[in-house]
Amino acid sequence: MAAKTRSFLTILGIIIGVSAVIVIFAIGKSAQELILDQVRGIGSNLIGVLPGSSDDEGPPAAVLGISVTTLTYDDLQALKNRRNVPEVEEAAGYVMGTASVEYEDESTGASITGTTASYIDVENSEVIQGRFFTESEERGSSRVAVLGVTIAKDLGLYEGDIESTHITLPKKIKINDQNYSVIGIFKERGSAAFGISSQDDSVYVPLKTAQKLILGINHLGFVRLKVESTEAIESAKKNIAKVLRDRHDIDDPSEDDFSIRDQESAIEMIGNITDVLRYFLLAIGTIALVVGGVGIMNIMLIAVNQRVHEIGLRKAIGAREIDVLVQFVIESVTISVIGGVIGIIFGILVSFVIFLIANNAGYNWMFIISPWSIVVAVAVSALIGMIFGLWPANKASKISPMEALRHE
């Protein structure tokens, strides 16, 4: 209290460090739950087949942005055949890209998803206006499209609430300067996060249309299969692998040119990846705490030099070295803990503001503050105060009382 400015500047470093740790932990956990909820929302009885090999723990090459062309439309048809994979109820193929989309005077860049007519059943999606395209339109490379609600609104197809609006369909749009008929609009599913394309802001066209007219490819990006139940997933994965090995002339499983992932495996993989990122960010935030600790050490060294006379007087009337050492360590820890408590409060407030902003932006963001993170933040701030206060405290305890009393 006698040196308010000095104490405030010392505390400020700890406040920033602890706040950073609380906010990073809260954002990391909330973001992880948001991504995992989106994956869980697709369904737990789904199996994904991606081109490119991988081990059981790592992601397939296609996930890393490497173009692999080993998965074809004929593979999809073979996997849909219940004589080959009895557990499969339905399957859908996918290709993805981006394109310019225009409607009257409005134009925007959009994610384009080419898929099969079975998409609706596999993804449990619902068309709220119009209809989805049929198998005959898929096979015939028809120029039809179904829009997500966000892209439909951006193009000016409707205003207000999609559920209370009647839209006359079809409407003509242009994709890469080619005419397409909008025959349906999806029911709102919810925003995606971190650059992940959502159904709401995508344009869906028949698979062969996307391959031939938009992307100029003849392979699939991935296949998603819906099985009878979660109990049938393991046997279905074995049958899928057998079918693809037979079709691709693969005798040795180590030479597979495909990867099979069920939803639980995907959730576990995403959880592991986001955990690594979260703890990496947490480590960066902890650096701010260390910087705050260095600030405490510097200020306490200055305090020792300014209070030499006080230290000498204490020692002259009987204080031992340990008494002076304990005094300065307690001061350092107290300053650090005060900064930690204020930092926790500030970090929680910042996390709550981020929660409000994210929810107003349409994300299903959770406000997660772990009690464990608060306990760790207080403990770490106290530990930092003790560690970085020991050197100044030890220096103070070694001051000679005779020299100190002569000090001006």
Do you know the residue count of the chain? 408
Say which amino acid occupies 287: I
User: According to the model, what pLDDT value does residue 41 have?
Assistant: 58
8 Å CB contact between 209 and 73: no
Q: Tell me which of 154-158, 176-180, 255-259, 364-368 is least confident.
A: 364-368
Mapped onto helix, strand or coil, the DSSP state of residue 225 is strand
Residue 99: strand pairing partners: 110
Tens digits of per-residue pLDDT, 171-184?
999 999 899 999 99
8 Å CB contact between 158 and 130: no
The CA distance from 354 to 149, in Å, is: 25
Residue 379, number of CB atoms within 10 A of its CB: 12
In this structure, what DSSP letter does residue 5 have? H
Residue 270 has pLDDT above 60, yes or no: yes
User: According to the model, what pLDDT value does residue 408 have?
Assistant: 52
pTM above 0.75, yes or no: no
* Percent of the chain whose predicted confidence (pLDDT) is above 90: 25
Tens digits of per-residue pLDDT, 301-357?
777 776 777 777 777 778 787 887 888 788 878 888 888 888 889 989 998 998 888
| Residue at token pair 């693969």 | 250
Tokens read off for 304: 């020792």
In this structure, what DSSP letter does residue 199 have? G
The CA distance from 34 to 57, in Å, is: 22
Q: Tell me which of 145-159, 275-289, 331-345 is least confident.
A: 275-289
- Alpha helices by DSSP H, 92-168: 119-123, 135-139, 149-154
Tens digits of per-residue pLDDT, 12-44?
877 887 888 888 878 877 777 777 666 655 556
- Alpha helices by DSSP H, 43-197: 73-80, 119-123, 135-139, 149-154
